[in-house]
Structure 1
């Protein structure tokens, strides 16, 4: 399941929503809102890739600790 998704924002813009908190996602303390469609799609893809890498890293760390 993807953690980050898009939501239509006011004024015809888009925001990235964190599925864990259901709040607008932040990147370096900047809310990812008020974006155009292409930029918002790119941010969702990027954040979901980073989340997958982080999850895989935790899985490999747990495997290494168990050995």
Structure 2
């Protein structure tokens, strides 16, 4: 499951929503909203990739801690 999704945020603007909290996602304290389509799509890709890396790192850490 992808953690982040796009939602329409006004006329022809987009925001990124965190599916865990159902709130607008933030990066460095800035809300990720009022973006153009291409910018929002790029940011979604980055955020979901980072989330996948963090998840894999947690899984690996748990696996090595169990040894």
Normalization by structure 1: what TM-score? Answer: 0.98
Q: How many residue pairs are counted as aligned between the two chains? A: 67
CA apart distance, 1:39: 0.2
Alignment-derived partner of residue 65 in structure 1: 65
Alignment pair present for 1:16 and 2:21: no
Q: Which runs of 4+ in 1 moved over 2 A?
A: none
Unaligned 5+ segments in structure 2 are none
Considering fraction of residues, name the structure with more helix: 1
1:48-59, aligned counterparts within 5 Å? Answer: 48-59=48-59
What is the alpha-carbon distance in structure 1 between the residues aligned to residue 5 and residue 25 of structure 2?
Answer: 9
RMSD between aligned residues:
0.5
Q: Which runs of 5+ in 1 are unaligned?
A: none
The question of 1:25 aligning with 2:25 is answered: yes
